[in-house]
Amino acid sequence: MFLSVHGDPGQASQVLSRALAKAVDPGMRGKVAAALAERLSGLAPNGWHPVLDADLTVLLGEAAVDPQKLARVVARTLLLKTPDFDGSVEALEAIGRDPLWRGFLSRCLNLDAAMEARLNAVRAALVATDGTEGEGRAALLEALAVNGFAAEYLDAGPEGLTGRLAWLFRTPGLDEEVSGELARRAVEQPKREGELAAGLECLTPSDDAVSVAVRDQYEASPYPRWVAPPAPEARSLISCVKALPGLDREAFAGRPERVLVAGCGTGFEPIDLARTDPTLSITAMDLSRASLAYGARVAGELGLDRVRFVQGDILALDQIEDRFDVVTSTGVIHHMARPDEGLARLAGVLRPGGVVRLGLYSERGRKRVKLAHALIRERGWRATPEDIRAFRAHVLSLPDGAPLAALRESDDFYSLSGCRDLVFHVQEHCYTPPQLDDLLAVAGLRLIGFDAPPEAQSAFRSAFGRADPLDMDLWDRLETQNPTLFAGMYHLWAQRPA
């Protein structure tokens, strides 16, 4: 672990790899696995290596590891291992018998354009060879079907295909004979979520026209569609809050107890918070019942009983009596007609001295997305599966270096609901750093923290030395020089005065 932070990264991975092979105690094994996964997740291998292949295979099955974080390195490893694919029965059998291929397909959402092309070729070959026989092909069919379900069928598939092969291009029905992981993910879980959605508590009504349009989008396309529950963060909420450079400590005395996750989507954040600190009492609110039900189902499976999933509209929060120590709202209020009104409502449910964490779009970071909006308008594409596929096909056909080709780097590009959220949204606002200051001031909040990614922080230090890290004019200058600094979103903290 020490080497991992301070020493030679390659050597650290080797040490961790050997330690993982020997680790028996579950606690220690989890720590080693998480540290190794962290190291490998950023790797861009340029050759196939059996030790890396074996490590990735093991890590994909470890409970302490979020397999999605390994999606890119696993895809690269598999393409390097199998550089050519001739579509033969033998090639399909070999892929289906390979545990890394199966682990990748059933546990990760693909995030790699070259791998997407390969998956399309593999699906086409399975159909052409009627690949339902043979142990390898049967396993491959099921793993690919799980993968297709997770990505919401990016590939429309041939007309009239029936039977098990049709699973590759559409969710199996309740009346079909489905088993294993596919049955769990594509049949049982959605059924359970349907039951949970119907029984969810309604915290506030919602009659705002934009809220209704946004709700309809997320009822149809819950977002994000994460697969494995988050591995608990090493840092608890209290330690994050106490480390904020501008925090008025006197005003925020004690531990945070009551937390509101406003616009929680499919529940990743409240579940992450609850797993990291089980003493928190968390209200997870969203407009979309389908999204909430996804989170409620996973929370139930994990035995997290202190997360209360409720349907509600941020704009109607002035109707509730509850007050919270911490409110978080990531990627939400910029989807409102008036984000300032949304923020005023969030500030209104903070207790005096309470803090809010926001994720908001960066104007410069969304430049490519704006280009996509213009193209979508020009082509008349709508947020239907067919049009989202048409948009994706266009972006995938662009040469590297074309402005819109950069969208292929976004995780959201690789599922229908993600792509819808990325470029087909019914409503969005974007900001520059000084505008963030203004937005907070109008709501009577004070900026106390700015969670810039590590590379942005080091760029800030190189440019401005020990200047105030909350100076939004300096961040503005830095972002002007490097428009991709915030990968589309700012994360900031603000405090309500006592």
The site for ligand SAM (CB under 6 A) is made up of 211, 214-215, 218, 223-224, 263-265, 268-269, 285-288, 291, 313-315, 330-332, 335-336, 421
The residue (of 96 and 263) whose beta carbon lies closer to ligand SAM is 263
Q: How far is the CB of 334 from ligand SAM (least distance, A)?
A: 9
Burial of residue 382 (number of CB atoms within 10 Å: 0-12, 13-18, 19+): exposed
Q: How many residues does the chain have?
A: 498
Least CB distance to ligand SAM at residue 414 (A)? 15
Residue type, 215: R
Q: Distance (Å, rounded) from C-alpha 187 to C-alpha 175?
A: 10
Of residues 97 and 491, the one with the C-beta less far from ligand SAM: 491
Task: Considering the complex, state which of residue 215 and residue 392 has its C-beta at the smaller distance from ligand SAM.
Answer: 215
In angstroms, give the least distance from the CB of 128 to ligand SAM. Answer: 38
Nearer to ligand SAM, 291 or 362 (CB): 291
Exposed, middle or buried, 372 (CB in 10 Å: 0-12/13-18/19+)?
Answer: buried
Q: Is 130 left (phi over 0), alpha (psi -120 to 50) or beta?
A: left
The CB-nearest residue to ligand SAM is 265
CB 352 within 8 A of CB 498: yes
Q: Which of 163, 133, 135, 144 is nearest to 103 (CA)?
A: 144
In the complex, the smallest distance separating the C-beta of residue 183 from ligand SAM, rounded to whole angstroms, is 27
Q: Please report, as a single letter, which amino acid is at residue 185.
A: R
Tokens of 94: 């070999």
Q: How far is the CB of 310 from ligand SAM (least distance, A)?
A: 10
The least CB distance from residue 443 to ligand SAM, in Å, is 15
Nearer to ligand SAM by Cβ, of 211 and 415: the residue is 211
Buried b (16+ CB within 10 A) or exposed e, 263-274: bbbbbbbbbbbb
Nearer to ligand SAM (CB atom), residue 116 or residue 421: 421
Start-end of H helices in 23-153: 26-41, 50-60, 71-81, 89-97, 99-107, 113-128, 135-150
Residue with smaller CB distance to ligand SAM, 241 or 271: 271
How wide is the angle at C-alpha 367 spanned by C-alphas 363 and 370, nearest 5°? 100
Nearest-angstrom CA–CA distance, 232 and 61: 16
Q: Nearest distance from residue 312's CB to ligand SAM, in Å?
A: 6
Which residue stretches of 326-401 are H helix?
339-348, 367-379, 385-397
Q: Which is nearer to ligand SAM, 103 or 331 (CB)?
A: 331
**Residue 82's closest CA among 69, 72, 92?**
92
Residue with smaller CB distance to ligand SAM, 5 or 209:
209
Residue 82 or 206: which CB sits closer to ligand SAM?
206
Q: Which residues 6+ apart lie within 8 Å of 27 measured at CB?
A: none
In the complex, the smallest distance separating the C-beta of residue 413 from ligand SAM, rounded to whole angstroms, is 15
Closest CA to 295 of 280, 311, 313: 311
Shortest Cβ 63–ligand SAM spacing (Å): 22
Q: To the nearest whole angstrom, how small is the minimum distance from the Cβ of residue 332 to ligand SAM?
A: 4
